[in-house]
Amino acid sequence: MERTGAARWTWPAAFLGCVAAAGMESLRLGKDVNWDLQNYHFYNAFAWIHGRLAHDVAPAMGQTFHNPLADLPFFAMVQAGLAPRTIEFLMAVPVGVAAFFLLRLLATVFPRGTPDRAGWIAIAFAIGVTGSAGRGVIGSTMNEWPCTALVMAALATLVPAIGERPTAARL
């Protein structure tokens, strides 16, 4: 059965709301000036793109050898000359994606018909997105959130399938 009207826009609106809220929180927290960014996040992406890894001997010590792929988006935005506030907002997109998939997961964990469903979802969501470890790195180059977004997307995809019986189409 195809959804019509407002119900069709519920999840897209939730996605946009999560991304917008994450971006606004990143703007509130301000520019990323952490030691790791100054020490190696920017340099590793630069070195990888410009072929410096074989020439510069461990300029950031052990962190020189971290995979630079997670640092490429930030490096590309800086090199493109985007405004710092724009970069701050865009660096928070993975936070919004992770929050959205948390919301999708909670909608599965608390199925329709659960007493006080909306309240339980709101409480669990608030706990999930306000942890001190994650909140402090919203919009930063620490690279925790892109991985978190992928894990949350996987969980939001797999958990609903656990309760379903396998069919020939699924196999």
Q: How does pLDDT run across 1-55, given as a tens digit for each residue?
A: 455 566 788 999 999 999 999 999 999 999 888 888 888 889 999 999 998 877 8
Q: Which residues span the domain enclosing 25?
A: 15-162
Angstrom distance (rounded) from CA 165 to CA 168: 10
**Model pLDDT, residue 56:** 79
Backbone φ and ψ of 113, nearest 5°: 95, -10
Domain assignment present for 144: yes
The count of other CB atoms within 10 Å of the CB of residue 58 is: 9
Q: Look at the chain and count its residues.
A: 171
Q: What is the pTM of this model?
A: 0.86
Domain assignment present for 9: no
Domain assignment present for 30: yes
* 93 to 18, 45, 130, 153, 162: CA distances (angstroms): 9, 20, 16, 14, 28
Domain assignment present for 102: yes
Angstrom distance (rounded) from CA 111 to CA 159: 12
Domain assignment present for 96: yes
Domain assignment present for 68: yes
Amino acid 108 reads: T
- State pLDDT tens for residues 137-150: 999 999 999 999 99
Domain assignment present for 72: yes
**Model pLDDT, residue 71:** 95
Structural domains counted in the chain:
1
Please list, in sequence order, all residues whose beta carbon lies within 8 angstroms of the beta carbon of residue 130, skipping any fewer than 6 positions away. none
Domain assignment present for 170: no
Residues of the chain above pLDDT 90, percent: 64
- State pLDDT tens for residues 80-132: 999 999 999 999 999 999 999 999 999 999 988 999 999 999 999 999 999 88
